Structures are given as structure tokens and as C-alpha cells.
Chains A and B, each alone.
Chain A
């Protein structure tokens, strides 16, 4: 049955070469942990992506309950955490996953750095990777405020004061992030929500696409 559906589609739009091109590749020996166990270091990039996928999925489901409003944000999180079946698990995945992404990202960066895999012709992909790093940190920073508890509030206060230290445009940058020059409040929460859920994920998808396309074009760097 499934084969028939596949054939029917393939007959019309010829999808076999598309998925072959994406998925059907031989893993070079030097990056295959089955050959050399030490090759597990090559897994960190893929693991980062895997955890990012978990973040996206768990985040999508969290927004079914979360309300980005200062009156209700904390209560909605409390509700989904205590009353909703498996809510604690899904929020737990998003909460801990956020840290795991950063850890995996750092390990991946260290591997690329110490193997010199960023060298010509892969400098551009290193730069894209650095941008991805900033996007992930931005996601961590904006997501931290959303539960709207004391820790979130004061961490954001500190973060905004750090942004304020930027030379010349510090004040404006802080206002742009917080939505008000003096208050961390209703407008800050909606802004951070929008940045966390729409703006940064859009940037993340675009940069990830470039990151992966470049790997495909250039191949994995050779053995040491």
C-alpha cells in the first residue's frame, strides 16, 4: 500500500532523486564511530540539531497553553506545569534542552576549532556557525523571561543593563529590546515572546539551511 502511494507520487513528480540527494550519502570512514570510536566527536553537530528539533517541537506545544501577558504568563506556566497531563515533561524538555543545546553547540565548536576544520575553504561556514551561536544565545536569553517569575524578571533586568552598556546606542538598544526606556513590563514580555517564537527561529532556520548546504557543497573536512 505505502509502496503504491510512493510509486504514484514518484511517477508524477520524480521524488526519488530529491530524497536520495538529501539522505543517501556514504559516511566517510574517518567520521564513522564504528570504524574509529574517537570519531564520536563528529556527532556533536548532529546532536545539536537533534536537540534543536526537540526544542522546536516542545516549544510549539508549550504555546498551546502559554500566554505572553504579565497578568497571566506565570499562571499559565504554573497551570501547564501542574495541571496538564505531561505538561511538566514537555516544559522540562524545553527547559533542560535549552541548556543541552548550548553544551552540544560548544562541544561542536570545540571539535571544529581543535581539528582546524574551519580553515579554507570552510571559513564561511564557521562564520555562519558563529551567527547560529548568537541566535541560540538570543533564544536562551529571550526564553528565560517568559515564565515571568522573579528569577526571569531580574535576569532580564541584568541582561538589559548589559545591553545598555553598548557604546553610543546602548540606551536605544535597551529600549528597543524592552519596549520601554525604564520599565521591564507588559511590553517587554510581548517583545521577548515575539523574538523568541518568531524572529529568532526564522533566523535560525535560514542559517541552519545555509550551514547544511555548505557542508553538502564542501564535504566534511578530511582526517587529521
Chain B
């Protein structure tokens, strides 16, 4: 062998070695860079090599790994029956495996789902068999699948349980799925429904122009719809008002678009709305009638009264000389009766008008209300030498005209029923809770027996003769009505000779509903 041949052979060997080394390096770098954990086992199942991903995934390090029997690795964590099964098969039956699924609960990293590929490789260079074990951690994917499956089940159970009828249509408007509510509401069965073009469903009952319009828009303009109102007279179930929501959903799993159509049957609601409209119309009408009645009463009922009173008085005036004292007394009774009747009619009207109209709710400054009342009542207060004491008030909400009337009625009541002392009225108010305020109007008047505490708030209820105290007995009834339409309560504490204290509550929030509201 000449030097040249030797050189060539050397060169070839070197080349082969280079190629081999390169192949090995390539193999090793493949092993080290693949993201999946890889193990290289020798014929005795001792670990020859693992890649970085294996260390990272299974939280073991090189020292305890290389040269260790796989089943002993990491405190025998890898002594897994299914793995033994697999490796036995590989060794004995000389068989490779793909996608061998295995689950195991590792001490350090918990429950894992793995997909194993096992491949025997006879390495000529070392003259022995090695097993390449690639482990794919599919725990996440399994979880996602479970979640997906759950989501799908969840979605399906939503569809099946919602009370609204739902239809799932494919891109050709054929019915893919409907829920029970749909079958129940529209009286169709599964057989005639699934796979049917929606317009053909139930003897073409669903071929509704407005529905076609909606679905065309959904398909062509790729637009979703909310609260699309539709009315239709169905053969079997009659006239229905419906509210439709349509939503396009692109389903990646089946690679096509579906349309979810939710149908709300608002027939009953519409009917109820109609009824409410009708009811409020009736209410308005009856209110107008009441107003008219009040007008007629104030005019037509009083005219005859004036005739009675007028002519008895004219009789007295003109025939004075021919009438004796009895006749004059009778005439007085007749006139007095007519005058009182008129007062009653006016008061009754007044009472019926409290709260009959829609009121303005405003924030009320009680001090300015009381000052205004004191100015109005200046004469009475001076004459009776009355004192009205008050200090601070919380802000209240209500109809100011009515509140003023309430306060004025109570103040004038206290002055009217004064004892032999000069009247003193003490007004106090404090917040009861966040929503209402408790007022008290305390006087030093004549008071009354406890048993009348409720009676005195009744209309035309009087505790004294009209000779002793004038008035029709409307004042406190009006007070009660005003307090009650503001959502409050009124009561009184009193004893003969010890004065009376009237208590009532009024709202401290603007969120109140004043009673007897009409839409007028």
C-alpha cells in the first residue's frame, strides 16, 4: 500500500468518522432541541441519555438519571405498570409503538397524560440495541379537550334548558338543532324538524316574509340581530308576537357557519302591555270624570242651596213684620243648614282633590314653609297670642303645596283648640332612618280622650259641637291623606287638658311615589 493509497484510506476513514460524528451530533442536537421529552434506553432499560425537555418536564437532574434503570428513576416514580408493559413488548416482541397513551400521577409534578412513541434502534457503532422513547405531555391538550367537551355539553344543556325556543341553522338555513321549548311552543316534532329548511317547517308555516328578511340580512350582511319583532299567525297555535335574536357563529370544529336563532314569545307580554295601556286610559278617563263631577258638584249642587238660603232670607227681610220669633228661628236654621251644606260640599271636593293630580316632588325646606304659614296666619297668631317654636329640620321630599297645607292645618288646629293658656306649638323633626323623617307637632291645647285618637282623622269627624268650635271636620282628614299619599303615617298622642302631639313621617328621598298618580 503506497503512501497515497494509505492517505486516501486515511482520508476516507477520517471523512467517514466526520460524517458519523456529524450524524451523531445531529442526532444529539435533535434530541436536545425537540420540545418533547426524549429518553434513550439501553437494552437493559438503563437510561443512556435524556434531553433537556425531559429534565424540565419531569423535574429530575442528570446525576440521578443517567445510568439509572428507568423504573428506579426519581424514587421509582417511573415504575409504572403500563410502561413496563410497553417496554416488555418492545423488548420481547421487537415491536415499535406509536401513540401509546399512559396516565400517571407523579409525586412532584402531579397527574400527567402522556403519549409515548417507542422505537428500537440497533446501533452498529456500539453493537447493541437502544430504545428511543419519546414522551409527549398531552395533559394540557387532554384538559382542553375535556373543557371543550364540557363547553359543548354546557352549550347544549343551555340550549335544551332555556325556556325560550332556540333554533340552530346551518349556512343553508336547514335546521341543525332545536331545543325542547321550540318543539313545545310551536307544536312540531323532531322528525319533521331536523334537517328541514326552516321555511318548509310545519307546512311552510315558517315561510314568513319578515323572517326571510331577517335571515337574508344575517347571511348577506353578516349582521347579528337583537330584539327583531315579528308577528305571525301560526296554523296550529294562532297569532303570536315574537322577539327574535339572531347570531352568526362560525364553528371551527365543523368549519362552517351556523345561525343561532332565539325566539321569545312576547304574545302575553304584549297583551299585558295592551291591558296596562287600556287600564291607564280608563284611569285617565275616570279621573277626567271625577274632575267633571267635582265641577258639576261645585256648581250645580250649590245653586239650589243658594235658592233655599236666599229665598228664606228674602222672606225674612220682606215679611219681617208679619213673622214671629219662631218663624225667624226656623229661617235661621234653614239658612244655617244651607251654609253648612255648602261648606261640606266644598270640603268634600277639596278632600277628593288632594292627590288627584300628578304632583311635583321637590326638595323641601321646612323652615321656609313654616315661615310662609306664619305670615299667612299672622292675624290669628297675633289675636291668640300663639307661639310657634321650631329649630332645625332635615331636608324632606314631597309636594310642597300639600306639605304646606299639612303643616298649616296642624298649626291652625292647635291654635283653634287652645286651652285657657296662650297656645304654644313646638315643632320637631328628626331622621328616623335613611328614608324617612319623623315630625312632631306638640301643643298645650285642650287635648282629647285617647279613644278618639283614630276617629279624629276621619272625614267630617268632630269631637265638639259646631256651636263651640266651627268647621266641618275636614282638616285632619286632609292631613292624613296628604301624609299617606307621601307614603307616611300619621298618629296622635293626647289626653284631656294635657295638649296633643301629632306625629307623622315624611320621605327623605326623592324616590317616592305619590299616590293616585295618573298619566295625565
Same assembly:
no
- Interface of A toward B, CB cutoff 8 Å: none
- Interface of B toward A, CB cutoff 8 Å: none
